[in-house]
């Protein structure tokens, strides 16, 4: 069946909605009726030729075998499919037996639906088809809808038939049925103007992915192949991949068996996918319903090929509880083992932020890769993502850990930037990630980036956000560039604009960097005063509500039970001020003992102020010693946090004050050798790492000024120390490297690697273009710019 016939069939089905159900269903609900009916009628047509054989098998089992429960296997053999229907009805028989009595019609339909095998009944349940039938019967349109679908002018059978006028209606192949499904889904989504294309990837994108997936190894395909899509939607990627491998006229023409596996969370699209698998002779049991992220449905399986267009920019917060327990990851799919800067292996979090779960689907596929020892070709993955997967997340974050794990294990083969506005539901830039755990020797340790953003064919009319296509020529050009694995410089047209495709090849390490913290010494002035110590009455983390309570109630806050009686008032005030308190903070706020401890801390600070005085000093080190001596003299007991709270309350940063000493260190020669070996530097470079030699041979370390703390991203191929000396030290003399803070991150920037600067046009040229438009604007622009009309200008030199 050709594409024109497919379009005619889609148009016929599309008209059924307008002809029959427009007065009962709003336009946005048409698909809820039409798509299930298309599936039902297709299954019905496939079972029509074997109906008598199935009924005979039913009679045999009940009468001859005296079976209480029917044996499914002989019934499947009788039907010729993995599904069957044991009722006397077909849709045509239901239509012929119909009367004006809707109850009889509905009873026959219910008997018909109840006769299906359990795998079809599940589809019926997912579609809520029985409820739809009852609603249509109640609205007196059920017979009309059935009549349209059994019309002799529509052919949903796999065989050629003639209509009443003698015209041949071509049979609908399984591949053709897939096209009809996809086109109807696209049209309904587009017509509804609601996330058009959420479950539909443009066919040319799938074609490109299948080329990239299979062409490099078309002569190495195993005799039995498995293909998996963890977000399979209506099954388009799975069936297109199978068609590409098995098509008689295709470039591969593999003769082995292909098994399709998928999981889909949406009931409707799952039902479509599963019915499509049944129609096309694939095992429907390999298609599962539910959340891929919440449940590892195929935990014991490993697949040869995986293709997917997972949802991006979509929250997975409702599934966090299945993946993490607090901050701990409990699902091994989303943990990876990495080596830190010091060479220690550690198991780390490989989950992205909860607002975007697309990388979780990539990790799901990575976890399902076949080891090379099991399969010579390992596994190959093609996955569509938006730009956030390339660069979102700092070093040490889940996103960066995922990129790092994939790249350092040499699984990332190629990333291809696609044209904007290629998908139905988004105009943003998208990318195809290609992964394999069995790179050929020439590709090992390298990653190929292909910028095909400018390679497209404009459409005459938009389909949702889609305003361009990838032509077969475009697909071939991208595939050839991928296979060649060589740099390609982008061409420039006569107007100086870039056109065509660009390719660059990088080492894996080119995408990695060290995130290094750069510290500066804290310099503080200090002095006691009543104003500075007054905030000690309140917990720093709850300063605002505690200050309000003190202003409202004064000494009452120290009375047992008083604060608990004020809970409602406290809650109301916090809500008015926009202050959100968690349960732990609320408990602290009404804890009388905490209030008393804060009061006692303020009292201690007041005593110390009397001993030390209120004179201001630029030497915080001497001030701290004086406070410590006063505490010891009075035998005051203070915890380290309480001591810090007092000192922080009465000191502040001053860039001309003395540096605050953290500790004085006295090293033996062995200790010093151990330290320099750890830092990887010479003794005379220790100051670059925060260790400052003193005249007596000791070393000082200084407290850091947190407000002056900064970070630098140093390429993996560069030396952190060299980078610091050339890029940081000349500008910040007192800075040092906090080497213990180093984290390793990975990100991929297409803009950085493919950006081409286009010089700005000169002012005279721009002015002439503006004034060239002036003749159409009655001199208005010339008046505004204060120049002569364009016709009077002299030619430019």
pLDDT per position as a tens digit, 208-254: 999 999 999 998 998 899 999 999 988 889 988 998 888 756 677 66
Give the per-residue pLDDT at 314.
Answer: 86
Give the per-residue pLDDT at 158.
Answer: 83
CATH class label, 199-317+354-511: alpha beta
Decide if 310 contacts 231 (C-beta within 8 A).
yes
Rounded distance between C-alpha atoms, residue 577 and residue 574, angstroms = 5
Q: Kindly report the length of the chain.
A: 797
Rounded distance between C-alpha atoms, residue 558 and residue 727, angstroms = 55
Tokens of 175: 């591949």
What are the extents of the domains in the chain?
3-172, 199-317+354-511, 524-653, 763-792
How far is CA 344 from each of CA 339, 341, 348, 349, 628, rounded to the nearest angstrom?
Answer: 5, 7, 12, 16, 40
Is residue 790 very low, low, confident or very high in pLDDT (cuts 50, 70, 90)? very low
Kindly tell me if the per-residue pLDDT of 194 is higher than 80. Answer: no
581 vs 481, more confident: 481
Q: How many helices (H) and strands (E) does the chain have?
A: 30, 26
At which residue do the structure tokens 């956030």 appear? 388
The three-state secondary structure class of 288 is strand
DSSP assignment of 756-795 equals ---PPPPHHHHHHHHHHHHTTTTTHHHHHHT---GGGSPP
| Pick from 94-103, 466-475, 613-622, 742-751: least confident | 94-103
Task: Pick the closest to residue 546 from 517, 516, 579 (CA basis).
Answer: 579
Q: What is the rounded average pLDDT for all residues in the chain?
A: 90
Rounded distance between C-alpha atoms, residue 200 and residue 464, angstroms = 12
CB atoms within 10 A of CB 325: 11
Overall average pLDDT of the 190-197 stretch: 51
Overall average pLDDT of the 600-627 stretch: 96
340-398: per-residue pLDDT in tens?
999 999 999 999 999 999 999 999 999 999 999 888 899 999 999 999 999 999 999 99
Give the list of residues 6+ apart from residue 101 with CB closer than 8 angstroms, or none.
none
The three-state secondary structure class of 268 is helix
**74 burial via Cβ count (<10 Å: 0-12, 13-18, 19+):** middle
Kindly tell me if the per-residue pLDDT of 793 is higher than 50. Answer: no
Percent of the chain with pLDDT over 90: 68
Is residue 776 very low, low, confident or very high in pLDDT (cuts 50, 70, 90)? low
At which residue do the structure tokens 């720093």 appear? 540
Decide if 33 contacts 199 (C-beta within 8 A).
no
Give the per-residue pLDDT at 230.
Answer: 96
Kindly tell me if the per-residue pLDDT of 797 is higher than 60. Answer: no
Kindly tell me if the per-residue pLDDT of 2 is higher than 70. Answer: no
């Amino acid at each position: 069946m050709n594409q024109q016939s497919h379009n005619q069939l889609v148009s016929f089905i599309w008209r059924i909605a307008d002809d029959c159900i427009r007065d009962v269903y709003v336009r946005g609900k048409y698909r809820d009726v039409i798509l299930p009916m298309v599936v039902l009628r297709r299954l019905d047509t496939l079972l029509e030729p074997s109906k008598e054989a199935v009924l005979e098998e039913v009679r045999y089992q009940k009468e001859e075998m005296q079976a209480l429960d029917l044996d499914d296997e002989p019934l499947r053999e009788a039907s010729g499919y993995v599904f069957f229907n044991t009722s006397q009805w077909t849709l045509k028989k239901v239509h012929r037996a119909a009367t004006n009595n809707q109850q009889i019609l509905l009873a026959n339909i219910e008997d018909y639906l109840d006769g299906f095998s359990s795998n079809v009944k599940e589809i019926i349940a997912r579609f809520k088809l029985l409820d739809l039938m009852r609603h249509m019967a109640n609205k007196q349109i059920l017979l009309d809808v059935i009549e349209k679908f059994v019309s002799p002018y529509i052919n949903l059978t796999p065989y050629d038939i003639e209509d009443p006028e003698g015209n041949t209606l071509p049979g609908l192949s399984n591949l053709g049925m897939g096209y009809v499904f996809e086109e109807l889904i696209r049209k309904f989504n587009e017509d509804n103007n609601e996330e058009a294309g959420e479950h539909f990837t443009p066919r040319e994108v799938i074609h490109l992915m299948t080329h990239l997936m299979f062409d490099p190894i078309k002569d190495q395909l195993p005799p039995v192949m498995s293909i998996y899509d963890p977000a399979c939607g209506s099954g388009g990627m799975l069936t297109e991949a199978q068609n590409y491998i098995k098509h008689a006229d295709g470039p591969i023409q593999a003769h082995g068996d292909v098994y399709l596996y998928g999981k889909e969370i949406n009931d409707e699209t799952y039902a479509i996918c599963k019915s499509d698998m049944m129609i096309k002779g694939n095992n429907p049991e390999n298609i599962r319903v539910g959340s891929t992220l919440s449940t590892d449905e195929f935990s014991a399986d490993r697949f040869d090929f995986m293709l997917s267009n997972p949802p991006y920019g979509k929250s997975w917060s409702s599934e966090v509880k299945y993946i993490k327990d607090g901050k701990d990851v409990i699902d091994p799919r989303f943990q990876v083992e990495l080596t830190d800067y010091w060479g220690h292996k550690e198991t780390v979090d490989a989950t992205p932020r909860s607002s975007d779960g697309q990388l979780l689907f990539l990790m799901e596929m990575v976890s399902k890769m076949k080891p090379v020892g099991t399969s010579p070709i390992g596994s190959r993955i093609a996955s569509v993502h938006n730009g956030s997967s390339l660069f979102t997340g700092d070093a040490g974050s889940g996103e960066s850990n995922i990129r790092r794990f994939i790249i350092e294990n040499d699984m990332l083969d190629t990333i291809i930037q696609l044209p904007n506005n290629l998908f139905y539901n988004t105009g943003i830039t998208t990318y195809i990630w290609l992964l394999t755990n069995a790179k050929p020797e020439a590709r090992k340790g390298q990653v190929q980036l292909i910028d095909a953003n400018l390679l497209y064919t404009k459409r005459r009319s938009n389909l949702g956000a889609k305003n361009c296509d990838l032509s077969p020529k475009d697909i071939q050009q991208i595939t050839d560039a991928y296979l060649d694995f060589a740099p390609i410089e982008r061409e420039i047209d006569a107007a100086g604009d870039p056109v065509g495709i660009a390719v660059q090849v990088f080492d894996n390490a080119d995408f990695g960097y060290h995130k290094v913290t750069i510290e500066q010494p804290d310099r503080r002035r200090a002095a006691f005063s009543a104003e500075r110590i007054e905030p000690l009455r309140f917990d720093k983390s709850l300063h605002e509500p505690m200050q309000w309570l003190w202003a409202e109630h004064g000494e009452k806050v120290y009375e047992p039970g008083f604060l608990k009686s004020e809970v409602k008032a406290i809650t109301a005030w916090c809500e008015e001020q926009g202050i959100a308190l968690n349960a732990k903070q609320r408990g602290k706020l009404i804890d009388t003992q905490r209030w008393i401890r804060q009061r006692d801390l303020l009292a201690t600070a007041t005593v110390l102020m009397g001993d030390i005085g209120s004179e201001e000093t630029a030497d915080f080190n001497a001030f701290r010693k004086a406070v410590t001596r006063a505490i010891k003299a009075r035998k005051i007991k203070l915890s380290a946090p309480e001591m810090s709270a007092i000192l922080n309350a009465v000191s502040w940063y001053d860039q001309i004050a003395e540096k605050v000493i953290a500790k004085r260190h006295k090293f033996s020669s062995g200790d010093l050798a151990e330290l320099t070996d750890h830092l990887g530097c010479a003794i005379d470079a220790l100051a670059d790492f925060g260790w400052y030699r003193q005249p007596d041979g000791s070393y000082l370390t200084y407290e850091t000024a947190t407000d002056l703390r900064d970070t630098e991203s140093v390429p993996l191929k560069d030396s952190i120390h060299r980078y610091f000396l050339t890029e940081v030290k000349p500008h910040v003399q007192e800075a040092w490297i906090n080497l213990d803070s180093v984290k390793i991150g990975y990100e991929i920037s297409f803009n950085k690697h493919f950006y081409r600067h286009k010089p700005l046009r000169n002012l005279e040229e721009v002015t002439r273009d503006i004034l060239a438009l002036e003749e159409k604007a009655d001199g208005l622009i010339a008046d505004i710019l204060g120049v002569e009309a364009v016709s009077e200008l002299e030619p430019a030199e």
